Chains A and B, each alone.
Chain A
């Protein structure tokens, strides 16, 4: 798909963005629109179905997945500002719906699903101009963004275009932050042990701000840092990119 071919995309907003980080959703819309892309946001969307899927409740996940497939039916790219939800659509829907009448549609949807930063960087090849003051940010790439979607480089490349932004990654960057959806509440002790180490590495980076392209990780790391009383501003990467590049919300 070349840049010229993309004039309309779907936005899959994700349930965590909907409730906890709507500004990241708005930033996503505006980043895309600025590139001349029309953003279609089907208002009937809810969640991708990953929580029950990861818990083994396939029937419940399938119920929700079918609707996503039906509501994003037009053959245009589906943009997801979250590695794990994008991974769900791209890598797990085809298996989850393999024996469903929607099997073909699910495979088609998977093939045109993109994580936001992957789409901005690889497909739209956006050029960003930094309008902000010098700042150091620490970027946490979610496990699903890193491994399932392979988009770590895209997020870093976009940040790399910002002249006044110094980017670092926490020590042991590839380690999971311990969120893992329901893992955080099903195995709280292990999750807390993992999150504590991640928080320590984030603090040790000395950065002024924490960024992530996944709201689950952000809620987890930021939630613990705030409880510890030493939080730093934490934003979704899309919010940061939009605000740095002159966007007014």
Chain B
């Protein structure tokens, strides 16, 4: 199914267990996340400057979202003026049909794709395969996972779960005339050779879009390997795919976002390539695509947009800083989530795009420690949104704006909280319960094994604080 690498809620517990049992995986993620956090920190040495920049980033994204319908119209208008053909897709199926149709219309045979989460989200590769096309991933990480029949485990570093030995084996097995080597430079050289061949003969290049600038009708793509530039320059047809929220108002908004994105993502001051695409090849130009298409994908975003609080979800610039700082992601890795977007942003985006009935359980895999919200360069209040979605998951309000609302509600849990609220709303009852807990410790219902399996039994104090204070009031009268 598009957007999912499996049914996220189904077997989530099994995947958690497997991930935690995999010592190598835990080690890799711990090392990688620590490295990335430190690199990011070193890029923002001045905390005040970072906070100012985050304010600016959040304001730019909020301003764009506040005017989203108008900006999308302006973007369409400016793009058309520049010679970019614009297509609208409400669902992933529509988007896939549009892209397949475009490839067929130019009799495309050899398709390369730059890194794009939007195309992962809509399940483009699967749709193209069903239509008889093969699309080669040209980002090195994406190439590795595609060749292995896997999915990305991180939105910025798709193959971060893999080590060099396993990639060495894979290349030796699957790429003809490739000797086994764990030399990283040689491995990259091998991948490059394959990809260069593919670029040279590609007739269709597919890419994502980091930001689309409404004012000028410009598509901005950020990348490190040059594959994005190759995919969008060499083939005669370039198809760019973006979620509708990626539009920004002005070219002048771009520098601050560029100060935030690579530093938050990979801890780089700037990426190797920032591609600004403003149209197909002109008559006096010697290279570039003959056709440029922009596919604007909604796929549930309008629904997110309609709720004032949840709208902050759409500020996301897909840097991955939230997952790099998430203690749960660090221990599970991306695949355990079973979703295209893993980690905190995935826990917020996926249940909204695909429904709480399918992905609501993801919202439980969070201790609300706040590290993601602190790291987010555009100040998405991720912990608040995760908590909000937990509420939508268990609410019995039929007017809830989130698809699949109430589907996480379990009668037993709802009963526990009703009883809990009754006790805590009646101080005499509360005192009775705490008295029982402190006096008759053996009578306490045993705590779930979930707690006691690895922790000592909780021991209530012999006299509660309330009791001690009551006694103090009698024996030590205050002035």
Contacts and interface: CB of A to CB of B under 8 A. Distances in A.
B367 A51 contact: no
A173 to B, nearest CB: 12
A43 B470 contact: yes
| Chain A facing B: main interface SS | helix
B434 interface: yes
B366 interface: yes
Contacts of B366: 180, 183
Interface in A95-138: none
Contacts of B368: 54, 143, 180-181, 183
Contact of B438 (A19, A184, A219): A19
Nearest to B459: A20
Contacts of B389: 56
Contacts, number: 180
B468 A19 contact: no
A179 to B, nearest CB: 7
B414 interface: yes
Interface stretch (B57-65, B127-135, B180-188, B450-458): B450-458
B21 to A, nearest CB: 9
A20 B458 contact: yes
Interface stretch (B217-225, B254-262, B327-335): B327-335
A58 B430 CA distance: 20
Interface stretch (A152-160, A162-170, A190-198, A205-213): A190-198
A178 B366 CA distance: 9
B464 interface: yes
A125 to B, nearest CB: 24
Interface residues of A, number: 68
A210 to B, nearest CB: 14
A188 interface: yes
Given A19-B461, A19-B464, A220 B421 contact: no
Contacts of A54: 368, 387, 390
B327 A194 contact: yes
Contact of B456 (A21, A38, A174, A227): A227
B421 A63 contact: yes
Given A190-B365, A194-B331, A44 B448 contact: no
Contacts of B364: 183, 186-187
Contacts of A185: 447-448, 450-451
Contacts of B427: 43-46
B390 A56 contact: yes
Interface string B461-475: 101111111100000
Nearest to A147: B370
A41 B451 CA distance: 31
B341 to A, nearest CB: 19
A38 B365 contact: no
A178 B327 contact: yes
Contacts of A53: 387
B41 to A, nearest CB: 11
A29 B478 CA distance: 12
A7 B408 CA distance: 48
A34 B469 CA distance: 17
A181 B464 CA distance: 20
Nearest to B392: A56
B371 A147 contact: yes
12 contacts: A19-B465, A22-B465, A46-B424, A55-B390, A56-B387, A56-B394, A56-B395, A147-B371, A176-B367, A181-B368, A188-B450, A196-B454
Interface of A: 13, 15, 17-23, 25-26, 29, 38, 41, 43-47, 49, 51-61, 63-64, 67, 143-144, 146-148, 172, 174-176, 178-181, 183-196, 219-220, 222-224, 226-227
- A-B pairs, 4 with minimum CB distance: A180-B367, A56-B390, A223-B455, A176-B369
